[in-house]
Amino acid sequence: SPAPKLVFNRVNGKRPPLLLQQISAPEECYTLAHEENVRFVYEAWQQVEQQLDGSRSGESACGPVQYVEKNPNPGLQNFVPIDLEEWWAQQFLAKIENCS
């Protein structure tokens, strides 16, 4: 037997009023904690990059170590990382095209 259909009845047979917030893209709100976390990660990464630059130029004997593959996999020689934002955009557009 087929699955029952979902039926959405309008209240009093009328359409709900459209709100401008529903039509426009939602505005992103950042909390103070979010901004502090972003600032912390950014500053920590800047320190790592400075230490890496210093160790490359011989200024510092110890510091962060950048991983380098000793025996690179020949199967990954032509590897190109995927652009996730582009992939998600393509998936989104494909869903829109399939629905219309």
Q: Give 30-79 pLDDT, tens digit per residue.
A: 899 999 999 999 999 999 888 888 776 766 567 777 788 889 888 888 88
In a domain, 13, yes or no: no
**58 torsion bin: left (phi>0), alpha (psi -120 to 50), beta (else):** left
CB of 66 within 8 A of CB of 52? yes
Q: What is the C-alpha end-to-end distance of the chain, expressed in Å?
A: 28
In a domain, 81, yes or no: no
* Domain range for 51: 31-57
Q: Is the pTM of this model over 0.75?
A: no
pLDDT at 33: 93
Number of domains in the chain: 1
In a domain, 37, yes or no: yes
d(CA 77, CA 79): 6
In a domain, 50, yes or no: yes
